[in-house]
Chains A and B, each alone.
Chain A
Amino acid sequence: MASVHESLYFNPMMTNGVVHANVFSIKDWVTPYKIAVLSLLYEMSTTKPMALLDRRRLNKLILPIQQGPDLTLEQFLKIVEECCLRMVNAVKLRLFLMADGELQDMEHFFTMLPNAFSDSEAFKTSVVGLFMRQMLLAYNKLSFSQVYKLYKSLQQYCRRGNQPELSAEDMELTSNEDPRMDINTRGPLSQKQAEYFLARQAYLLKNDENKAMSPAKLQDELNNILKFNPDFAEAHYLSYLNSMRVQDIYISTHSLLHYFDRLILSGGEGKSNGDEGYGRSLRYAVLNLATLHCRFGHYQQADLALQESIRIAQEANDHVCLQHCLSWLYTLEQMKGSDSVVLTEDSVKIAAHFCLPYLASLGIQSLVQQGAKQGMPANKLLDALRGTDIMHWKQSLSELIEISLAQTTSIWRMYGKSTMARQQAQLLLNMNSLEPVNFGVQQNNTEAFAVTLCHLAELHAEQGLYAVVSDIMKHLKQQFPPHTQHAKLWMLCDLKIQFEKAMNDGKYHLADPHVTAISALNSTEGLYRKAQLLKALNQTTKASKILKQLQQRCEKSKNTEMIIRMMLASAELHWDSATGFATAVPLLLQALALSRQHNLQSLTSETLLHLAFTQLMLGIPEQALVLVQDVLESVLAHGSLIDKGRALLLAARCHMALAGAAAQEHRLTAVELAVHTLDEAAVYFSQLDCKERMRDIHYLQARLHHSLGNISQRNKCAMLFRLLDQELPSSGMTVVNRL
Chain B
Amino acid sequence: NTDIHKHRQTERQTQTQTDRQTDRQTDIHNHRQTDTNTNRQKDKLAVSLDALPLNEIPAAPELTEEDARDLDALCLAKSHFELKEYDRAAYFLRGCRSQKAYFLYMYSRYLSGEKKKDDETVDSLGPLEKGQVRNEALRELRVELSKKHSAGELDGFALYLYGVVLRKLDLLKEAVEIFVAATHALPLHWGSWLELCNLITNIEMLKSLSLPECWVRDFFMAHMFTELQMIKEALQKYQSLMEAGFAKSTYIISQIAVAYHNIRDIDQALYLFNELREQDPFRIENMDTFSNLLYVRSMKPELSYLAHNLVEIDKYRVETCCVIGNYYSLRSQHEKAALYFQRALKLNPRCLGAWTLMGHEYMEMKNTSAAIQAYRHAIEVNKRDYRAWYGLGQTYEILKMPFYSLYYYRKAHHLRPNDSRMLVALGECYEKLSQQVEAKKCYWRAYSVGDVERMALLKLAKLHEQLNESDDAAQCYIIYIQDIFSCGEQLEHAEVSTALRYLGQYYFKNKLYDEASLCAQRCCDYNDAREEGKALLRQISAVREQGEPSSTDLSLACVFNPLINTTTPVRRASPLDLSSVTP
Of the candidates B131, B285, B342, B376, which one forms a contact with A262 in the assembled complex, judged by CB atoms under 8 Å apart? B376
Cβ-based interface call for B118 (8 A): yes
Cβ-based interface call for A7 (8 A): yes
Of the candidates A1, A14, A29, which one forms a contact with B37 in the assembled complex, judged by CB atoms under 8 Å apart? A1
Known contacts: A18-B370, A29-B126. The answer to whether A261 contacts B131 by CB under 8 A is no
Give the CA-CA distance A17 to B401 in the complex, in Å: 24
Cβ-based interface call for B20 (8 A): no
Size of the A side of the interface (Cβ < 8 Å), in residues, is: 70
Residues of chain A with a CB closer than 8 A to B402's CB? 308
Give the CA-CA distance A190 to B131 in the complex, in Å: 12
Within 8 A of B (CB), among A261-310: 261-262, 264-265, 268, 278, 282, 285-286, 289, 301, 304-305, 307-308
Residues of chain B with a CB closer than 8 A to A289's CB? 403-404
Could you tell me if A191 and B126 are in contact, using CB atoms closer than 8 angstroms?
A: yes
Could you mark each residue 16-30 of chain A with 1 if its beta carbon is under 8 Å from any beta carbon of chain B, else 0? 111101100011111
Could you tell me if A191 and B376 are in contact, using CB atoms closer than 8 angstroms?
A: no
Known contacts: A8-B118, A285-B404. The answer to whether A261 contacts B128 by CB under 8 A is no
Could you tell me if A7 and B117 are in contact, using CB atoms closer than 8 angstroms?
A: yes
Give the CA-CA distance A174 to B348 in the complex, in Å: 32
Could you mark each residue 339-352 of chain B with 1 if its beta carbon is under 8 Å from any beta carbon of chain A, else 0? 00110011011110
Cβ-based interface call for B97 (8 A): no
Of the candidates A13, A18, A228, which one forms a contact with B131 in the assembled complex, judged by CB atoms under 8 Å apart? A228
Could you tell me if A177 and B139 are in contact, using CB atoms closer than 8 angstroms?
A: yes
B523 to chain A, nearest CB (A): 38
Cβ-based interface call for A665 (8 A): no
Could you tell me if B128 and A308 are in contact, using CB atoms closer than 8 angstroms?
A: no
B522 to chain A, nearest CB (A): 41
Give the CA-CA distance A282 to B370 in the complex, in Å: 14
Could you tell me if B170 and A178 are in contact, using CB atoms closer than 8 angstroms?
A: yes
Could you tell me if B146 and A173 are in contact, using CB atoms closer than 8 angstroms?
A: yes
B447 to chain A, nearest CB (A): 25
Give the CA-CA distance A6 to B171 in the complex, in Å: 16
Known contacts: A7-B117, A286-B401. The answer to whether A228 contacts B130 by CB under 8 A is yes
Cβ-based interface call for B51 (8 A): no
Could you tell me if A146 and B369 are in contact, using CB atoms closer than 8 angstroms?
A: no
Residues of chain B with a CB closer than 8 A to A174's CB? 139, 142-143
Within 8 A of A (CB), among B122-160: 122-123, 125-132, 139, 142-143, 146
Cβ-based interface call for B265 (8 A): no
B82 to chain A, nearest CB (A): 14
Most buried by A among B117, B129, B374, B380: B129
Give the CA-CA distance A338 to B348 in the complex, in Å: 56
Residues of chain A with a CB closer than 8 A to B346's CB? 10, 14
A306 to chain B: closest residue by CB:
B403
Could you tell me if B400 and A304 are in contact, using CB atoms closer than 8 angstroms?
A: no
Cβ-based interface call for B239 (8 A): no
Give the CA-CA distance A22 to B403 in the complex, in Å: 32
Could you tell me if A253 and B407 are in contact, using CB atoms closer than 8 angstroms?
A: yes
Known contacts: A227-B131, A230-B380, A265-B373. The answer to whether A173 contacts B142 by CB under 8 A is yes
Residues of chain B with a CB closer than 8 A to A8's CB? 118, 348-349
Residues of chain A with a CB closer than 8 A to B373's CB? 17-19, 261-262, 265
Cβ-based interface call for B399 (8 A): yes
Cβ-based interface call for B36 (8 A): yes
Cβ-based interface call for A11 (8 A): yes
Could you tell me if B126 and A190 are in contact, using CB atoms closer than 8 angstroms?
A: yes
Residues of chain A with a CB closer than 8 A to B170's CB? 178
Cβ-based interface call for B576 (8 A): no
Give the CA-CA distance A12 to B127 in the complex, in Å: 10
Could you tell me if B403 and A304 are in contact, using CB atoms closer than 8 angstroms?
A: yes
Cβ-based interface call for B200 (8 A): no
Give the CA-CA distance A65 to B189 in the complex, in Å: 53
Could you tell me if B128 and A228 are in contact, using CB atoms closer than 8 angstroms?
A: yes
Could you tell me if B123 and A2 are in contact, using CB atoms closer than 8 angstroms?
A: no
Residues of chain B with a CB closer than 8 A to A177's CB? 139, 142, 169, 171
Could you tell me if A22 and B139 are in contact, using CB atoms closer than 8 angstroms?
A: no
Could you tell me if B169 and A17 are in contact, using CB atoms closer than 8 angstroms?
A: no
B54 to chain A, nearest CB (A): 35
Of the candidates A30, A191, A286, A304, which one forms a contact with B127 in the assembled complex, judged by CB atoms under 8 Å apart? A191
New A-B pairs, 7, CB < 8 Å, besides A5-B114, A14-B346, A178-B170: A5-B168, A7-B118, A17-B362, A188-B132, A190-B126, A261-B373, A308-B404
What are 7 pairs between A and B in contact, CB < 8 Å? A5-B168, A26-B126, A143-B123, A166-B143, A174-B142, A261-B373, A308-B404
Chain B residues packing against A (C-beta within 8 Å): 35-37, 114, 117-118, 120-123, 125-132, 139, 142-143, 146, 164, 168-171, 194-195, 198, 285, 338, 341-342, 345-346, 348-351, 358, 362, 369-370, 372-374, 376-377, 380, 392, 399-404, 407-408, 433, 435
The 9 lowest CB-CB distance pairs between A and B, nearest first, are A228-B131, A29-B125, A308-B403, A188-B132, A26-B126, A268-B369, A265-B369, A304-B403, A29-B126
